[in-house]
Copies of this chain bind each other. A is one copy, B any other.
Amino acid sequence: MLSKKAKYAMVALVHLAKHGNDGPVLISRIAEAEHIPQKFLEAILLDLKRDGVLASKKGKGGGYYLIKDPADVNMADVMRLFDGAIALLPCVTYKYYERCEECKDEETCGIRETFLLVRNETVERLKAATLAHIIQTEQNLSGKKR
């Protein structure tokens, strides 16, 4: 399962991508609009800033704003930032690789093979899920609903 941090981060990013066209958005505004505990959200936005996705402005008229193109911000990166590896086993991750102690031969492990395929499919899908893509999807879904 995703952590709340990762989920809140995604929700906040979508919010910023949608409402950030007229300058910085207040933390308090995002917190209220998206029902996220404000203090918790502060830490999350700070992480996203350190990661280079967002920037902020202090004082009156301040707030957070996107500094990347919504088409260049994807859910795979967000998930990795907050929850670490996407794969379900350490032996099929790229950055967090760890050998299974009990595995005799990694190259012929049938379990590993399955989870490697799962990982690859998931990463591909999450990389495609950019902010731009998510917003587009929402518009399509509302269109169908009507």
Give chain A's interface residues, CB within 8 Å of chain B.
Answer: 1-2, 7-8, 10-11, 14, 34-36, 75, 85, 87-90, 100-102, 107-111, 113-115, 117-118, 121-122, 125-126, 129, 133-138, 141-142, 145
Taking the full assembly, how many copies of this chain does it contain?
Answer: 2
What are 13 residue pairs bridging A and B, where the CB atoms are less than 8 Å apart in the complex?
A8-B102, A14-B111, A34-B102, A75-B114, A110-B129, A110-B134, A110-B141, A113-B134, A118-B121, A118-B125, A118-B126, A121-B122, A122-B122
Tell me whether A36 and B1 are in contact (CB under 8 A).
Answer: no
Tell me whether B7 and A108 are in contact (CB under 8 A).
Answer: no
In the assembled complex, the CB of A41 is this many whole angstroms from the nearest CB of chain B, namely 11
Tell me whether A145 and B90 are in contact (CB under 8 A).
Answer: no
- Our pick among B2, B107, B141 for the contact of A141 (Cβ within 8 Å) is B107
Tell me whether B75 and A110 are in contact (CB under 8 A).
Answer: no
Tell me whether B145 and A126 are in contact (CB under 8 A).
Answer: no
CA distance A117 to B137 in the complex (A): 13
- Our pick among B101, B113, B142 for the contact of A108 (Cβ within 8 Å) is B142
Tell me whether B88 and A2 are in contact (CB under 8 A).
Answer: yes
Given contacts A7-B100, A113-B134, 9 further A-B contacts (CB under 8 A): A11-B111, A35-B101, A35-B102, A107-B145, A110-B136, A110-B141, A113-B137, A114-B125, A118-B121
CA distance A125 to B21 in the complex (A): 41
